[in-house]
């Protein structure tokens, strides 16, 4: 069934989802890979400020390819990265920050499954290979944090015809927050984390 959601998400929104639903989500999302998870958890443990509220956004496991322009960042590709890389951190991250939806590729492990169930959150699959399609749904990059971190990516030049244009692969420690139009994600087996089985409502 098609489900249309807009951030911020509530536990009620999440618990209304079923295995196999196609989720169309709009609103604010933030990207975070493994080093960004580690950095945010360390900041929380040290009582340092987190400059945005992760509980009000969906988390996308993504290292977007972006271009810096006068008006800001333009996302060229925003495909999901393999989510199991975040398994070391995700259960603590969900507990610490209250994020209600994690979007990624390939699924996650038992620790994250248990944390999703406890938090009333969900993991949704976004298919690989369609990063350009995801980028088309992004209306604006609102903020970018920790771009100067050591593992945040590097600027590269790519050539197209007679011109050369710089683009950046935002790396593992970088956070990008963007606003998006409705775009499908695929909420598959991991949504069982909410109930154990789909018919146990």
The CA radius of gyration of the chain, in Å to the nearest whole number, is 17
CA distance 25 to 78: 15
> What residues contact 70, with CB distance under 8 A and at least 6 apart?
none
- Is 18 an annotated catalytic residue? no
Number of structural domains, the chain? 1
CATH number for the domain that contains residue 137: 3.20.130.10
Is 124 part of a structural domain of the chain? yes
User: Is residue 32's pLDDT more than 60?
Assistant: yes
Strand pairing report for 155-160 and 101-104: unpaired
Does 171 fall in a domain?
yes
* 58 in any annotated domain: yes
* 84-132 tens-digit pLDDT: 999 999 999 999 999 999 999 999 999 999 999 999 999 999 887 888 8
Would 189 be classed as within a structural domain?
yes
Residue 112 lies in a domain: yes
Strand partners, 165: 158
Residue 190 in this model has a pLDDT that exceeds 80: no
Of all residues in the chain, the percent with pLDDT exceeding 90 is 42
Asked if the structure places residue 176 within a domain, the reply is yes
- Higher pLDDT pick, 11 / 178: 11
Instruction: Write out the H or E segment, with its range, that includes residue 112.
Output: helix 110-119
Active-site annotation holder among 37, 61, 162, 197? 37
Please indicate, yes or no, if residue 199 is contained in any of the structural domains: no
Strands (DSSP E) contained in the chain are 2-6, 22-31, 58-60, 65-69, 72-77, 101-104, 122-125, 138-145, 155-160, 163-169, 175-186
Residue 170 confidence (pLDDT) above 80: no
Which residue did the predictor score with more confidence, 161 or 41? 41
Check pLDDT > 60 for residue 21.
Answer: yes
Residue 201 located in a structural domain: no
- Note down the domain range covering 173: 2-194
Give residue-wise pLDDT tens across range 49-71.
999 999 999 999 988 888 888 88
């Amino acid at each position: 069934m098609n489900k249309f959601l807009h951030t911020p998400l509530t536990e009620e929104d999440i618990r209304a989802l079923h295995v196999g639903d196609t989720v169309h989500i709009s609103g604010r999302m933030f990207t975070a890979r493994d080093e960004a998870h580690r950095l945010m958890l360390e900041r929380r443990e040290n009582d340092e400020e987190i400059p945005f509220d992760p509980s009000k956004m969906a988390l996308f496991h993504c290292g977007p390819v972006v271009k810096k322009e006068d008006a800001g960042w333009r996302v060229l590709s925003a495909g999901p990265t393999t989510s199991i890389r975040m398994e070391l951190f995700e259960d603590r991250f969900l507990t610490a920050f209250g994020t209600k939806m994690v979007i990624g590729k390939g699924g996650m492990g038992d620790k994250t499954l248990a944390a999703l169930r406890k938090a009333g959150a969900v993991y949704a699959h976004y298919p690989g290979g369609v990063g350009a399609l995801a980028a088309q749904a992004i209306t604006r990059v609102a903020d970018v944090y920790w771009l100067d971190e050591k593992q945040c990516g590097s600027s590269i030049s790519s050539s197209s015809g007679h011109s050369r244009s710089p683009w950046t692969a935002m790396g593992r420690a970088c956070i990008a927050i963007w606003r998006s139009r409705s775009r499908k994600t695929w909420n598959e087996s991991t949504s069982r984390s909410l109930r154990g089985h789909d018919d146990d409502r």
